[in-house]
């Protein structure tokens, strides 16, 4: 069984990780997945609220209490987490990141009537049903955060396989619903950040290697100019809010609380910030009160997928694996 194999994700391509490195990577990969779900569950309560409305109702919103416009149970998650898990399942079943397998998984996910679904996701999955083409038409308008919010399983499955493999895999999964250059750039930067944190890089190195090049190529992402409150579903605003919260704080809790209290698309900013902060700080940094509140089935799936995806990554890029097998 896939879950039961020993983790062997190389810290560098071509080098076998030591047991200590493997266990640190598994810890941080698991924390990234649980952080994604926790940020989603926390942020969903205040999605579409302004910072002022949040202050009036909660003071500081920092407890997983459910509610919000989706009327969630405490600990229930939304599309950010459930689409990530659907994608992770497809990657594990296929043994690689595959656009058609992702499209089928997302289509099955949509048929199961999720609590929430983005407009771009719905539209392009309906197009997929008609055309059978798992790559949506390119569109400058499809720059929502729907592909970026579910990038984590791709980051874990391609850990240690180099940036080209990562970028190709990001585009394959992203283009199922968001065929857009800004969405692609955000997905690649986020996945690179997760990988670098999981491999033990410092926050300064992670920013230099991922966030700085993102802004250099696409200056619209510049997150240093003004505070991004009330971020919309536009991937640029989402990334700006997340990076500001990540780089301005020094704990998992502070990072996630910072970003969700900015309101707007708070479940998605919470999910992405939780993913990055989990990868940065590891499992011990996640508040126990939040872990206890998270839906148990979701938490178990996050843990199992994180380990299984790391195990898959250690086998190397898919073409080599096919030749080797």
Among the listed ranges 109-117, 151-159, 234-242, 255-263, the one in contact with Mg ion (CB under 5 A) is: 109-117
**Residue 253 or 265 with smaller CB distance to Mg ion:** 265
**Residue 134 or 233 with smaller CB distance to Mg ion:** 233
Q: Between 23 and 62, how does the x/- string for binding to Mg ion read (CB under 5 A)?
A: ----------------------------------------
Among the listed ranges 71-79, 122-130, 174-182, 231-239, the one in contact with Mg ion (CB under 5 A) is: 71-79
DSSP 189-211: HHHHHHHHHHTT--HHHHIIIII
DSSP 60-93: S--S---BTTTTBPTT---HHHHHHHHHHHHHHH
CA angle 211, 44, 224 (to 5 degrees): 25
**Residue 21 or 267 with smaller CB distance to Mg ion:** 267
CB of 283 to Mg ion, least distance (A): 23
Nearest by Cα to 227 from 247, 251, 244: 244
Separation CA 242–CA 223 (nearest Å): 9
40 close to 293: Cβ distance less than 8 angstroms = no
Judged by CB under 5 A, the residue of 9, 38, 49, 80 near Mg ion is 80
Is residue 258 involved in binding Mg ion (CB under 5 A)?
A: no
CB of 241 to Mg ion, least distance (A): 15
CB of 115 to Mg ion, least distance (A): 8
Nearest by Cα to 274 from 63, 26, 59, 81: 81
Nearest by Cα to 271 from 108, 83, 133, 125: 83
**Residue 36 or 169 with smaller CB distance to Mg ion:** 36
Separation CA 161–CA 64 (nearest Å): 36
Separation CA 265–CA 248 (nearest Å): 19
Among the listed ranges 63-71, 75-83, 175-183, 313-321, the one in contact with Mg ion (CB under 5 A) is: 75-83
Give the total of residues touching Mg ion (CB under 5 A): 5
Q: Which residues pair with 72 in a beta bridge?
A: 67
Is residue 265 involved in binding Mg ion (CB under 5 A)?
A: no
Is residue 78 involved in binding Mg ion (CB under 5 A)?
A: yes
Identify the sign of the CA torsion 303, 306, 309, 314. Answer: negative
Among the listed ranges 8-16, 114-122, 139-147, 172-180, the one in contact with Mg ion (CB under 5 A) is: 114-122
Is residue 79 involved in binding Mg ion (CB under 5 A)?
A: yes
**Residue 78 or 313 with smaller CB distance to Mg ion:** 78
**Residue 245 or 312 with smaller CB distance to Mg ion:** 245
User: Interaction with Mg ion in 161-190: which residues (CB under 5 A)?
Assistant: none
Is residue 196 involved in binding Mg ion (CB under 5 A)?
A: no
CA angle 135, 137, 138 (to 5 degrees): 110
Is residue 267 involved in binding Mg ion (CB under 5 A)?
A: yes
Give the C-alpha distances (Å, rounded to integers) separating 114 from 70, 86, 299.
11, 12, 18
Interface contacts to Mg ion, rule CB under 5 A: 78-80, 116, 267
């Amino acid at each position: 069984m896939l879950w039961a194999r020993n983790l062997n994700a190389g810290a560098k391509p071509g080098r076998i990780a030591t047991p200590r490195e493997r266990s640190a990577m598994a810890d941080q990969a698991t924390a990234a997945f649980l952080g994604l779900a926790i940020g989603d569950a926390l942020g969903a309560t205040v999605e579409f609220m302004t910072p002022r409305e949040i202050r009036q109702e909660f003071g500081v919103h920092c407890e997983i209490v459910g509610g919000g416009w989706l009327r969630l149970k405490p600990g229930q998650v939304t599309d950010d987490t459930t689409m990530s898990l659907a994608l992770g399942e497809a990657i594990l079943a296929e043994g690689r990141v595959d656009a058609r397998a992702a499209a089928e998984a997302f289509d099955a996910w949509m048929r199961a009537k999720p609590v929430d679904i983005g407009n771009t996701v719905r539209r392009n999955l309906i197009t997929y049903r008609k055309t059978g083409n798992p790559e949506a038409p390119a569109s400058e308008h499809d720059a929502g955060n729907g592909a970026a919010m579910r990038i984590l399983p791709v980051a874990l499955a391609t850990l240690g396989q180099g940036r080209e493999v990562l970028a190709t895999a990001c585009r394959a999964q992203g283009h199922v619903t968001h065929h857009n250059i800004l969405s692609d750039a955000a997905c690649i930067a986020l996945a690179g950040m997760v990988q670098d944190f999981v491999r033990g890089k410092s926050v300064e190195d992670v920013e230099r290697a991922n966030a700085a090049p993102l802004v250099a190529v696409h200056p619209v992402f510049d997150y240093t100019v003004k505070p991004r409150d009330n971020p919309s579903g536009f991937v640029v605003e989402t990334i700006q809010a997340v990076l500001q919260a990540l780089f301005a704080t020094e704990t998992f809790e502070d990072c996630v609380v910072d970003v969700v209290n900015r309101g707007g698309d708070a479940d998605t900013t919470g999910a992405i910030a939780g993913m990055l902060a989990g990868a940065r700080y590891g499992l011990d940094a996640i508040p126990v009160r939040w872990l206890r509140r998270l839906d148990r089935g979701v938490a178990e799936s996050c843990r199992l997928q994180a380990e299984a995806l790391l195990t898959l990554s250690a086998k190397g890029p898919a073409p080599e694996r096919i030749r080797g097998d």
